[in-house]
Structure 1
Amino acid sequence: MEIQSVGEAFIRPGQLLTDRTALAAVSRWTQAVSEADGVCVVHLSSGVDPCELTAELRGQGLRASPNHVLRGQPLFFGGPASRPFPTPPIPYKAGRSRSHVVVGLLDTGVTKHPWWAGSDWYAGVGPEEADAYEGAQAGHGTFIAGLLTRRAPGVRLRVGRVLDGDGLTDEATVVRALYRMRERPPQVLNLSFGCHTFDDRPPPLLSDAIGALSATVTVACAGNTGSDRPFWPAALPCVVGVAAVDATQQRRAPYSGHGTWVDACARGDWLTSSYLDAGEYGGYAAWSGTSFATALVAGAIADAARHEPAKEWIRNLLDSEETPQIPDLGVLFPTSL
């Protein structure tokens, strides 16, 4: 994937995202257009700056954005674990619990594992949703799937692969995957990836795509940036943004994003879960990052949704004056995993 750095944001060079209403306005800078699933990717003529053109179009009231690059947020630096570490098998049986709740998981995919052998939801995971076996973030989706299914026993996952083995994707890919969810929206959606934007403003097409899933609680990671700079889509008002606390579950993990735009937090350090059965790994690993704190919060919401609508439950929890808050981290979701 070709990537261009703009400040601390990353974009696909020469690409602009918009909807059909702006195509006429960009026609003189357009080399080609690919349109699918609710978004137009405009391939710009050589020398045209997508960030400058975005600002001009937004000044005209049009929906536009550079095609931002997003990345999964496991921890690779500056914390207790710089990569996934092999761990002995984790004694867990799924049991016979069944839930009507569906959790959407857009990530690197999910591979086979004893924890969901024979489950209805995994039977529907095709080759195109299989987890990557090569790359710095191979196994990321499988790790998250384990956290979700343990935190919300019996939950059904709906898997979509949007991240490659290095944990990379772009805004157009995510928007299109979200668009395809409209027909059968899940109750909860886990997005353990994100990005900064070139101007620190919310990306409008990504915001529109998430907002269109009006019955879904979307949960996204606050990023491993160690800063209060907004991280998207977690910082969107319609998203539950999740930071990570350390193993004490009392302090912010040093790498975690934080700020008034964060809604909740959970442990992100040294979590253990399902992983690839390859090389030194026997299907289990320990890993850290806001990616995994996000899965714990999404799982807690999915578990509560067995008895109460997910939107109603999380809104009451976050809005209650009696719910304990950690400054710049939001509501703590304790975990024993």
Structure 2
Amino acid sequence: MELLSAGGTYIRPGQVLTDRAAVSAASRWARSVSEADGVCVVHLSAGADPHAVAAELREQGFRASPNHVMRGQPLFFGGPASRPFPAPPVPYRPARGRSGVVVGLLDTGVARHRWWSGSDWYADVGPGQADAAEGAQAGHGTFLAGLLTRRAPGVSLRVVRVLDGDGVGDEATVVRALNRMREQPPAVLNLSFGCHTADDRPPPLLTDALRALPDTVAVACAGNTASDRPLWPAALPRVVGVGALDATGERPAPYSGHGLWVDACARGDWLTSSYLDGGEFSGYASWSGTSFATALVAGAIADAARGLPARQAAQQVLDPEKTRQIPDLGVLVPASL
């Protein structure tokens, strides 16, 4: 269950995230503590306010935050980014070989599809990482996978399911997934989800987890909020925050998050990609949202990273002196599908 708190911030009720150093200090509020992959979830006693507890721990110098709910971002109050629509098959040219670049895709999972049938990376996608079959955002990860593999032919995806079929997950799950990547970090991360915080400050454990991947370029969506309010992780300094353009690929999409914290933009409206096979869909869909603009930017960086370190590739793709800029949406990255 999730709770809508003051300021439009969703959190898991009765939970605070800390590292191990803060557990003793948090014990006076704790009913129990669970730990995995470097994240401690303090389950609070009845009546304890997660925001107040986290704030007090941070005042004492500890890393702590409520367990923010992360949400996928194709939805915008029933607007143009509302849902996927059936689409005819899209021409697809399989890559002639591997690019050697690995993109971490943290999302709803990835389903079987003819575009990657027989690929080495999909053979590593176990049942627990398969895309959700039901829910408002079922097929979200499969759609992103198609955009990534078309924009960066030969790329390998490392799939981690952190969102359910309704596009809902939480910060603890995401941070644990990031921490598990430290031994073999991907070149690029696609993070098409986000959250607000009550004080509009960055969540500290999420910040730490991404900072611990210094050679990885994290690319995250600016959200479908039509607002300049920072969405995390997109607004973090070392993360490429991505906004969406309309179907012309020239003008801002009306729903896109925007502001000085947005670094890049790409078309987000009416993109067509791989999707689930069933019901009215036959493996393809058209969908809109900053989630999908994010995959185009992540794919462009992954494609440029064939012969360059990922951070150098990102600087090349996002060079403001060589590429047009859109006010409050950053550097324009062509779709090139």
For structure 2, the residue ranges without an aligned partner over 5 or more in a row are none
- Give the Å deviation of 1:79: 3.6
Report the Cα distance in structure 2 between the residues aligned to 1:167 and 1:240, rounded to whole angstroms.
21
What is the 5 A alignment of 1:51-130?
51-77=51-77, 79-130=79-130
Aligned-partner residue type, residue 285 of structure 1:
A
Report the Cα distance in structure 1 between the residues aligned to 2:3 and 2:82, rounded to whole angstroms.
23
Query: What do residues 274-301 of structure 1 show as CA deviations (whole Å, max 9, x unaligned)?
Result: 0000100000000000000000000000
Aligned-partner residue type, residue 41 of structure 2:
V
- Number of matched residues? 337
- Give the Å deviation of 1:75: 3.0
Give the alignment's TM-score, normalised by structure 2.
0.97
Aligned-partner residue type, residue 104 of structure 2:
G
SS of residue paired to 1:251: coil
SS of residue paired to 2:182: helix
Tell me which residue corresponds to 2:139: 139
Aligned-partner residue type, residue 135 of structure 2:
G
What is the 5 A alignment of 1:21-60?
21-60=21-60
Tell me which residue corresponds to 2:212: 212
Report the Cα distance in structure 1 between the residues aligned to 2:335 and 2:79, rounded to whole angstroms.
20
Q: Is residue 11 of structure 1 aligned with residue 11 of structure 2? A: yes
Contact 1:132 1:139 in 2 (8 A): yes
Q: Is residue 245 of structure 1 aligned with residue 254 of structure 2? A: no
Report the Cα distance in structure 2 between the residues aligned to 1:215 and 1:81, rounded to whole angstroms.
32
Contact 1:78 1:255 in 2 (8 A): no
For structure 1, the residue ranges without an aligned partner over 5 or more in a row are none
- Give the Å deviation of 1:318: 3.7
Tell me which residue corresponds to 1:299: 299
Give the alignment's TM-score, normalised by structure 1.
0.97
SS of residue paired to 1:25: helix
Report the Cα distance in structure 2 between the residues aligned to 1:13 and 1:201, rounded to whole angstroms.
19
Q: Is residue 260 of structure 1 aligned with residue 260 of structure 2? A: yes
RMSD (CA atoms)? 1.3
Contact 2:317 2:333 in 1 (8 A): no
- Give the Å deviation of 1:197: 0.7
Tell me which residue corresponds to 2:230: 230
Contact 2:102 2:155 in 1 (8 A): yes
Tell me which residue corresponds to 1:199: 199
Tell me which residue corresponds to 1:273: 273
Report the Cα distance in structure 2 between the residues aligned to 1:319 and 1:88, rounded to whole angstroms.
35
Report the Cα distance in structure 2 between the residues aligned to 1:71 and 1:80, rounded to whole angstroms.
18
Contact 1:191 1:221 in 2 (8 A): yes
Mark the CA change 1:320 to 1:290 in structure 2 (over 3 Å): closer, same or farther: closer
Report the Cα distance in structure 2 between the residues aligned to 1:165 and 1:243, rounded to whole angstroms.
23
- Give the Å deviation of 1:317: 4.6
Query: What do residues 102-149 of structure 1 show as CA deviations (whole Å, max 9, x unaligned)?
Result: 000000000000000110100111101000001100000000000000
- Give the Å deviation of 1:307: 1.7
